[in-house]
Chain A
């Protein structure tokens, strides 16, 4: 198993990169409407990947456009929630010297591995992917 400190540093680095990317995208959409593509799949094959549109979704959320966010990509809601909660949780764990997030992470990992949970989630991701392709993100 991955240890606590490694997990926390990965989460913090990911959230930090996410916030920088968010600031970059929010300021960029004001000056020019063209979106910057970082997605490897999209750039190589011109087909959007399951999580394409997440940036647009989170940017819409910051402006309070909830329906626009849902139309861009529902995964944006999940990412926004994780980006809001994870740094606070990590910080509180580090200050108090506990490992509640680490225990929660392991619990959710074993929970998600159960076929009853995994198969519907995989189907949801695939449906979302098909929707992305139809929308032509």
Chain B
């Protein structure tokens, strides 16, 4: 793929991924076929900040986990009142990384 397109993608979507993954993403995008550009540029990623806000407000209902597509974990949190409140607090710190993980999986699926 065009280096210019790749850089544009990275500039606009950088916040959705871990910084140490950027090089792999860049290499992967450069190696990808040009025909995938339409799909890649239209893929929706979840903002880690949004999931953090949801986690703080509705974490004990597991809504943050549902939001990033972790349905099983979300049900686990919902049924146990957010894991007796402990899991809720752990997720305040884990949810941003979990969101970035989900985003990179989404990108790998498209690539």
Contact = CB atoms under 8 A, between A and B. Distances in A.
Interface of A: 1-2, 10, 14, 17-18, 21, 38-41, 49-52, 54, 75, 78-79, 82, 105, 108-109, 112-113, 125
A38 B60 CA distance: 11
A39 B85 contact: yes
Contact of A40 (B71, B72, B85, B105): B85
Contact of A38 (B69, B71, B85): B85
Nearest to B60: A40
A40 B82 contact: yes
B71 A39 contact: no
Contacts of A17: 84
B100 to A, nearest CB: 14
B39 interface: no
A41 B71 contact: no
Contacts of B70: 2
15 contacts: A14-B83, A21-B84, A38-B85, A39-B60, A40-B82, A41-B81, A49-B60, A49-B61, A52-B81, A78-B79, A79-B79, A79-B80, A108-B72, A109-B71, A113-B71
